[in-house]
Structure 1
């Protein structure tokens, strides 16, 4: 059986429009309430053989609140945004509009002095490819939405520009299954019951 890695997006710490690069803020009250409402659906993932999280306070707090007791993985940290750390996209655009345009257009660009989008995707993909395969074992990883987007781009071997078209909401789950270099996106949901005629 293939290895299954289920990503759980960290609960929020701020309204989406106020998201900051490399945001280290803890969960806000709304985030805690979201975790409590979602706990019943997400608690079964605690049975995974291995449980990890991004090093951000909100990822750790989300994992702990769900009973996962996750192990922090430095490779699952957010993209290093250099001098834009702590800024919103709007603030970075107001200060350095040409640099932001270059960064959005070229996945190899590092106008902020940090990590390129391509390097970020490769780092997260490298983490995914080095997970231990133990006869179909399961892994859960609580991570920032940006990390999950990077993992999906890598797993699907999609162009880096696809990163900007993936929407990851707080506390959503996404599963990939496979092994190093060969991953599949797994969608799950309620299966329709056969009709009884």
Structure 2
């Protein structure tokens, strides 16, 4: 049995543009416009038998704009950034420079009081590993860029610091396949 999972990055919002930590803002007007403009090219994703999304407003609204009607999955929420939630990196760096230095230097640290990077990657990987084994019509998840980066680090068995080297653009699609319990990254043209 095999699994084909397409990960669709949510459309943008103002929090993404401002680089805010885990800020549950809805899509802004530009995000809605981009999602609606991309809908004809992404309509093939509606063929997925099972459609999921991160529980954030941005992911739910991206799914709605594309007519996907995804089911929110708590395991697909973005990394828990604790007391840094909703703040920009600049704000946190100004207030807690040593904490930011520790966080960027050691993926296992969580000076913000939330999840460490390995815990986040493990949570997303655990969700991947519990997907149904027979997906004749495929699976889809509309997710935050961080969730997709965590999934890729997990699938590729890369070290946690590789998370920072993956760039996920809004409305991009990443395909993962699984056979015999292991996951592969599939690049499409």
TM-score > 0.5 by shorter chain? yes
Runs of 4+ in structure 1 over 2 Å off: none
State the match for 1:84 in structure 2: 84
State the match for 2:33 in structure 1: 33
Give the deviation of 1:17 after TM superposition: 4.4
Aligned to 1:40, what secondary structure does the other structure show? helix
Give the deviation of 1:184 after TM superposition: 0.6
Over aligned residues, Cα RMSD in angstroms? Answer: 1.4
Counterparts of 1:175 and 1:84, CA distance in 2: 31
Counterparts of 1:68 and 1:135, CA distance in 2: 17
Worse overlay, 135-144 or 148-157? 135-144
1:115-144 Cα shifts (integer Å, max 9, x gaps): 101100000000000001115551000000
Structure 1 unaligned spans of 5+: 190-197
Give the deviation of 1:67 after TM superposition: 1.1
State the match for 2:139 in structure 1: 139
Matched, 1:157 2:148: no
Matched, 1:6 2:6: yes
State the match for 1:70 in structure 2: 70
Counterparts of 2:180 and 2:101, CA distance in 1: 33
Is contact 1:110-1:116 (8 Å) kept? yes
> What aligned pairs does 1:41-52 form with structure 2 within 5 A after superposition?
41-52=41-52
State the match for 1:192 in structure 2: none
Provide closer, same or farther for how the CA distance between residues 15 and 108 of structure 1 changes in structure 2, counting only shifts above 3 A: closer
Provide closer, same or farther for how the CA distance between residues 180 and 91 of structure 1 changes in structure 2, counting only shifts above 3 A: farther
State the match for 1:194 in structure 2: none
Is contact 1:129-1:180 (8 Å) kept? no
Counterparts of 1:8 and 1:96, CA distance in 2: 33
Aligned to 1:25, what secondary structure does the other structure show? coil
Matched, 1:186 2:186: yes
State the match for 1:22 in structure 2: 22
State the match for 1:96 in structure 2: 96
Counterparts of 1:135 and 1:39, CA distance in 2: 23
> What aligned pairs does 1:123-134 form with structure 2 within 5 A after superposition?
123-134=123-134
TM-score, normalization by structure 1: 0.92
TM-score, normalization by structure 2: 0.96
